[in-house]
Copies of this chain bind each other. A is one copy, B any other.
Amino acid sequence: MHVLPDRFLRDLHTLRSFGASGIGKGVVRQAFSEADVAARKWLIKQLKAAGLAPHVDPAGNVFGVTDGPSLLMGSHSDTQPEGGWLDGALGVIVALEIARSAKEAGGPPVSVVNFQDEEGRFGALTGSSIYSGKTTLTEADGFTDVDGVSFRDARASMADLAREFLPHDRFSGFIEVHIEQGSTLDDAGEAIGVVTGIVGSRQIQVTITGQQNHAGTTLMHQRKDAFQALCAFNAALNDRLRNIVTPRTVWTIGRMQLRPNAPSIVPGEVVFDVQWRDIDDDRLARMENLIRDLVAVIANDHGMQAEIVPIKALQPVPMDATLRAALSAGAEAQACGKWREMPSGALHDASNMARVIPSAMLFVPSIDGISHAFVEDTNEADLVTGLRVVADAVSRLGASTDFKGN
């Protein structure tokens, strides 16, 4: 097939006109907003023009499908409340250009998908969760946004277009192109990341209870200061995790609340979340054991009580070996010496799709690693390289006799 970079970039820029923030290339296009629905209707026109059959499912996922079995490509065009122009939009327009070019070249057959609410206005990766069967439509209908609007009411705005859910078995595989949203590629001056897998994550909420007291009359040795216990925990955690992590393992204490949170009162309680992510589920489990032990040790050392509530546990999702191999071959051909294999630290629609269809992902760089912000950007040369790598990979898959999914 012969992709057309100018056509691809023109469509990508057109898409950002839906919900343009007026600040740089930023976009405000949350799921089922007017701008989002308008963008999806614009995409339907482009799919038709490319000779694909548009199909909207009850979740608001927009497909453009070939007649028979095909590879599926895509991502999502909804954004965060303040989003960048590329995020999921890139994967949708790459899919459009590949499907269009493949059609023009007489194959291989490629279909397109634009999932709904990946950014979590209502749930988390809502559209692909429903499509993959992880969440039922009925469950999702009960989800509400921060203003109390339900997914059920929101999806009514596209109900006139909606038909049945497409069967999974008409797609032999799923490929999602996405910006990295980290700075690994940008820091290294590389153009392409072939994703090995999507990291798993675990999160617990910890409550440490000491003794609230007067910050003037309670001497230092008499205190049971919950904030001091948290700091001791944090220091010990950083120290002890070093022995079991890799350079790509991450852990974060990003949310916390002191009680009563007053400058003249020794904090009696702290509630905080610990979240950690890794590509290896065994490592996630070993980290959890260490974290739980450490909470108990620190509480005991400080004469305090501690309680742990599990918040979430998502298993790592390895990418399909055949699709990965094709993407790596494409990367080697189109970006020789400027690509790497790497895990995805963020969740993507491919996490859900891997449940039902062989799935893989390709990253292009994010300048300074910035995403979910109006300033999010990628050099257009890198966007085009990403397009060419996928075109190359899809051609290889089309010529391959052994790719029927695996």
Contact = CB atoms under 8 A, between A and B. Distances in A.
A10 interface: no
Contact of A222 (B216, B221, B264, B369): B369
Contacts of A187: 222
B371 A219 contact: no
B217 A369 contact: yes
A292 interface: no
Contacts of A181: 214, 217
A167 interface: no
B263 A214 contact: no
Contact of A215 (B234, B247, B249, B254): B254
Interface residues of A, number: 56
A231 interface: yes
Contacts of A248: 219
A266 B253 CA distance: 8
Nearest to A201: B216
A345 B248 CA distance: 48
Interface string A185-224: 0010000000000010101000000000111111111100
A199 B261 CA distance: 22
Contacts of A277: 215-216
A148 B275 CA distance: 40
A146 interface: no
A381 interface: no
Contacts of A18: none
A252 B263 contact: yes
A123 interface: no
A373 to B, nearest CB: 9
A103 interface: no
A235 B183 CA distance: 30
A265 interface: yes
Interface in A225-280: 225, 227-228, 231, 234-235, 238, 247-258, 261-267, 273, 275, 277
Contacts of A203: 263
B217 A345 contact: yes
Contacts of A183: 218, 222
A214 B214 CA distance: 37
Contacts of A216: 199, 201, 250, 277, 344-347
B231 A247 contact: no
Interface centre among A217, A234, A247, A250 (most CB of B within 10 A): A217
Nearest to A232: B235
A349 interface: no
Contacts of A263: 203, 252, 254-255, 273, 275, 311
Nearest to A363: B217
Given A235-B231, A369-B217, A254 B258 contact: yes
A170 interface: no
A220 B250 CA distance: 6
A107 interface: no
Given A227-B254, A255-B258, A255-B262, A219 B184 contact: yes
Contacts of A273: 263
Contacts of A255: 258, 261-263
A176 interface: no
29 contacts: A182-B214, A182-B222, A183-B218, A183-B222, A203-B263, A214-B345, A214-B371, A214-B372, A216-B250, A216-B344, A216-B347, A217-B369, A218-B369, A219-B247, A219-B248, A220-B250, A220-B251, A225-B252, A227-B234, A227-B253, A228-B238, A231-B235, A235-B235, A254-B264, A254-B265, A254-B266, A255-B261, A257-B261, A263-B273
Given A216-B277, A256-B256, A263-B273, 9 more contacts: A215-B252, A216-B345, A219-B248, A221-B247, A228-B234, A252-B263, A254-B264, A256-B258, A257-B261
